[in-house]
Each structure stands twice: as C-alpha cells, then as structure tokens.
Chains A and B, each alone.
Chain A
Amino acid sequence: MDPLTEKPDPEFLVQIRNLNYRIGNRAIHKDINLDIPRGKVTTIMGPSGCGKTTLLRLIGGQARAHSGQILVDGINVGRLDLNGLFTLRKRMGMMFQSGALFTDLSVFDNIAFPLREHTTLSESMVRHIVLMKLQAVGLRGARELFPAELSGGMARRVALARAIALDPMMIMYDEPFTGQDPITVGIIMQLIRLLNDTLGLTSIIVSHDVQEVCTISDQLFMLSDGKVISHGSPDQMKRSDSEAVQQFMHAFPDGPVAFHYPAADYFEDLMQT
C-alpha cells in the first residue's frame, strides 16, 4: 500500500481523493473527491463530455490519473502494474455502452469467455454457470445466437450476464439506458437493482437519464466542469437549490450549461463581410 494513502474506510468500496486528469491541455477532472458505498447503487451524472465515462476508465485502471488517488477496496489503482490491475479486474465487472460483445463468439461463448480464461472449471460446470447467468437476464433461450443477431437491448443484457460471470464485487455500467426502448430500459433498470441486491454487489452507473437513475439509485453524484458540484440521494438532488443541478434534473435548455457555444457577438458576426 502506498504510504501516503489515507486509511481506507471499509464502508466505501471506491474512494477518490483529489483526482486530476487531463487530455492534452484540457482538464477533465479537477480535484475530484467522492466515496462510493459498498452494496449500494451509485450514479454519476452530468452533461455530455464532463468526464463520466473517463471516471469509470480511471476506476478500472484503463487510464492513469495525473494526480490524486483512487482506492478500490483499499487498493491504490494508480500504483498497480499490469498483473496487479488484472488481479483487481477479476473482481470487477463492466458493462460498456456498446455491449462490447465479441462478434465472432456466440452468446454462450461470450459469457463463458471469462470463466474459461480465469478458472479451471470443467466444461459442464461452465455450461451450468453460463445458463444460470443467462437465466438471470432472461436470455437462456438466446444462447446459440451471435451478437449480430441480437437487438441493442438483448446485447446489453448479454453484456450484463458476462459482467457477472465471475461473481465480481462491483459492476460499472456505462450509459446503460442510452438508445433503448422503454421496455428495455425498464428491464435493465430492474436487472441492475435486482442483481445489486441479490448478489451483494456495488453498482456504479454513469448516465444522464435522470428519471431512470433516480428510480434505482441510492446515491447520485453530479459532475460539471470537471468537478463534483453536488451529491446526495435522488430526493435530496431533486430539492437541491443549485442552479446547475436544477437545470440538469429538470432538463432546462439554458442555464449554467449555456445553450450557446461561446462565440463572438452575434450582431458583429452578422455585420462582417
């Protein structure tokens, strides 16, 4: 453990301290601090481009912070080498926005993939586990299909089944509701909550679908301009007196996040020949 690391609080699975991350000269995260409690569903919200997905990448060790600490189960992710990261990731699941299913493998083989890579289970045991995971997401009958034959919603459910294949301690969801029909959104919401509670997981969702995340989340964090501007339960966030939070929660087209991209004076612009 890094000697500078503060003593991790066992109540929280993920603790982020003074996180700074840049892409080129653009600061994506500016001194971010946040704690994600164990066993809860936590959502990170914010306008497009505010660094929500990047935060998941930082927690998963796919990107390195320029300064600050990210502790996952007390382990400083930024200090891990590749082997250390792989050991930690075996205890993490991630559902990508695109599903990220392997297109050359069937649904069954996609879910069996992490089991075959990381365990020495017999094929009959792998089969049983895969069928149980597929049953949990309602797609046991689709096991022979290939990703190209799945709808967007089915692909995400398969991705979810794959993410829980190794029974991880946490799952990260990157925009799980984007582009889905209302029925699929309802199914995914139910699955996130149900799996979190029945499997004793910790769930981190990145999303800007306010209604959906307010329904299933225990805690919300709101990012804007690279900082955490507010956090609390969905009810607390709805009652927040922050203008930026109100704009986001109630979908106001103008406010702290301006409708107009910064530009020269309109009149002067029109007068230029």
Chain B
Amino acid sequence: MNILDRFQRLGQNSENLLAQVGARGLFLLRILAGIPALLGHMKLFVQQLYAVGAQTLTIIAVSGMAVGMVLGLQMYNILVDISAENTLGHVVALSLVRELGPVLTGLLFAGRAGSALTAEIGLMKATDQLAGMEMMAVDPVKRIIVPRFVAGLFSMPMLAAIFSAIGILGSYFVGVDLLGVDEGAFWSRMQAQVDPYGDVLNGVIKSLVFGLLVTWIAVYEGYHATATTEGVSQATTRTVVHSAFAILGMDFILTGLMFGD
C-alpha cells in the first residue's frame, strides 16, 4: 500500500467517524426535542422507569453489597497495619461515592438495562412495529425512544446512590460487626470527611452523565440496528462494549475535572 492509499484510507475512516458522530448527535437532538411531548404521556415514562430502573435494582443491590463487603475487608487489612482502621468508613464511603458507585452502576446498568433496551427496540424494528407506528402517523422517536431515554436518565443516579448506600452497609457489616472496628469512629469519620457537595454531588453528576451515555448509546443502537436476528445481536453487543468504553473514558475526564488540582 503506497502513501497515497494510506492517506486516502485515513481520510475515508475519518469521514466515516465524523458521519457516525454526527448521526448520533442528530439523534440525540431529535430525542431532546421530543421530551416536552412526554408530559402528555407520563404513563409511558412510569412504565419505563419500572422496566429500566426498578428491574435493574436486584443486580445493583447484590453487587453493591458484594463490593462493599470486599472493599471493607481489603481496606481493613491495609489500614490495620498502620493502625488506621478507624478511618475505614471514611475510605470506603469516598471510594464508593466518588468512583465505584457511579462507574460500577454504569457498567451494570449497561449490561442489564442498556442491552435490554437495544434488544427490545431492535426487535420492534425487525418485526415492523416501528414502521407500523410510522405508518399510523405516530413518531416512534417520541413514543418509544424518548420515554426510555428519560427513564434511563432518571434511573442511573438513583441506582448509583442505592449501590453506594448498600456498599457502605456491606463494609459496615464486615468492618464493624465481623472485624471489630469501632462503630462510632466508622460513622463519625465518614460524616466528618465526606463532603456533600465535593464528593456526593460530584458522584451524582457522574452517574447522571453515565446514564445519559448508556441510554443514548442503547436507544441509538436499537433504533439503527439491522433488522435481522444477527443485526439485533450485534447491536446489543455494541451497546455493552461502547457503553463500557464511554463510561471508563468519561470517568477519567470527569475525575480530572472534579478532583484534580
């Protein structure tokens, strides 16, 4: 391959990438423009809040408890060597609220709710339900996509908060009940050192951004899936993989902006 071919290929790839970014951006604008119409269809929003949010609760609660317990145990083993085990609550809370809560919830949310959204929308496309809706003069973006998108946006911060809360309880159980850390020190250190704005609010902002990314990717992939069994399967896989990359990349940027000096 000569140098001209390489440049041509690079140019083609760049053009394709820009077209992809542009298509996703325009789709997001179309969704945002459809949000006011959702006010007349609150029932659809509540249904999706249940499907996207409430049905993801079990895996979030179980994972939060497991992560909190393991984190409590690992941190205790490190802290006890320097006689700082009383700071366990502080360390665990900061880890969960700042990082692990939003990031792990985002990854689990992509695997559970994001993949389900893509598969559902993709199958609706494959079975002509979206085309049927268009032919009945109903915009599928407003009727199908917008309620799911907004429900995802609302669910993620709540799920991340639940993940962190249950994680803290898990570390409390291991640290205080099993390993003998002082209960007063566990809670008081946490209360004194965790900043509601600097730490908790930033964690909420992170989870909101991750919710937007995952739901945006999921509905886009479903709506633009090739209308075949294989096409839906590939779109679902793309949702999980792209969401994971997006969360991890955006977490680095947000952490730098929020907690960097």
Task: List residues of chain A with CB under 8 Å of any chain B CB.
Answer: 60, 62, 82, 85-87, 89-90, 92-94, 96-103, 113-114, 117-118, 162
With CB as the reference atom, state the residue of chain A lying closest to B138: A117
Q: Once bound together, how far apart are the Cα atoms of A117 and B134, in whole Å? A: 12
Cross-chain contact B135 with A62 (CB below 8 angstroms): yes
Given known A96-B128, A100-B127, contact A60–B135 (CB-CB < 8 A): yes
Count A-B pairs with CB separation below 8 Å.
48
Cross-chain contact A94 with B132 (CB below 8 angstroms): yes
Q: How far is the CB of B194 from chain A (nearest CB, A)?
A: 43
Q: Once bound together, how far apart are the Cα atoms of A87 and B139, in whole Å? A: 12
Residues of chain B with a CB closer than 8 A to A99's CB: 128
Cross-chain contact A103 with B127 (CB below 8 angstroms): yes
Cross-chain contact B129 with A86 (CB below 8 angstroms): no
Residue in A86, A97, A102, A103 whose CB lies within 8 Å of B137: A86
Residues of chain A with a CB closer than 8 A to B139's CB: 82, 86
Chain A's interface: helix, strand, loop or mixed, by majority? mixed
Residues of chain A with a CB closer than 8 A to B128's CB: 96-100
Q: A102-B129, A102-B132 are in contact. List 17 more A-B contacts (CB 8 A).
A: A62-B135, A82-B139, A85-B137, A86-B139, A89-B135, A89-B137, A90-B137, A94-B135, A96-B131, A96-B132, A99-B128, A100-B129, A101-B132, A103-B127, A113-B136, A114-B137, A114-B138
Residues of chain B with a CB closer than 8 A to A86's CB: 137-139
Cross-chain contact A114 with B136 (CB below 8 angstroms): yes
Total contacting residues, chain B, CB less than 8 A = 12
With CB as the reference atom, state the residue of chain A lying closest to B41: A117
With CB as the reference atom, state the residue of chain A lying closest to B123: A103
**For chain B residues 114-165, which have a beta carbon within 8 Å of chain A?**
127-129, 131-139
Q: Once bound together, how far apart are the Cα atoms of A81 and B138, in whole Å? A: 14
Cross-chain contact B136 with A117 (CB below 8 angstroms): yes
Q: How far is the CB of B228 from chain A (nearest CB, A)?
A: 13
Cross-chain contact B132 with A100 (CB below 8 angstroms): yes
23 contacts between A and B (CB under 8 A): A60-B135, A62-B131, A62-B134, A62-B135, A82-B139, A86-B137, A89-B136, A89-B137, A92-B135, A93-B135, A98-B128, A99-B128, A100-B128, A100-B131, A101-B132, A102-B129, A113-B136, A113-B138, A114-B136, A114-B138, A117-B136, A117-B137, A118-B137
Q: How far is the CB of A108 from chain B (nearest CB, A)?
A: 16
Residues of chain B with a CB closer than 8 A to A85's CB: 137
Q: Once bound together, how far apart are the Cα atoms of A35 and B133, in whole Å? A: 27
With CB as the reference atom, state the residue of chain B lying closest to A57: B131
Q: Once bound together, how far apart are the Cα atoms of A112 and B139, in whole Å? A: 17
Cross-chain contact A87 with B129 (CB below 8 angstroms): no
Q: Once bound together, how far apart are the Cα atoms of A60 and B134, in whole Å? A: 9
With CB as the reference atom, state the residue of chain B lying closest to A162: B136
Q: Which of B128, B132, B138 has the most chain A CB atoms inside 10 A of its CB?
A: B132
Q: How far is the CB of A132 from chain B (nearest CB, A)?
A: 18
Q: Once bound together, how far apart are the Cα atoms of A102 and B132, in whole Å? A: 9
Q: How far is the CB of B208 from chain A (nearest CB, A)?
A: 28
Q: How far is the CB of A158 from chain B (nearest CB, A)?
A: 12
Q: Which of B131, B133, B134, B137 has the most chain A CB atoms inside 10 A of its CB?
A: B137
With CB as the reference atom, state the residue of chain B lying closest to A89: B137
Residues of chain B with a CB closer than 8 A to A62's CB: 131, 134-135
Q: How far is the CB of B137 from chain A (nearest CB, A)?
A: 4
Q: Once bound together, how far apart are the Cα atoms of A92 and B138, in whole Å? A: 13
Residues of chain B with a CB closer than 8 A to A87's CB: 137
With CB as the reference atom, state the residue of chain B lying closest to A90: B137
Q: Once bound together, how far apart are the Cα atoms of A113 and B132, in whole Å? A: 11
Q: How far is the CB of B26 from chain A (nearest CB, A)?
A: 14
Q: Once bound together, how far apart are the Cα atoms of A86 and B133, in whole Å? A: 10
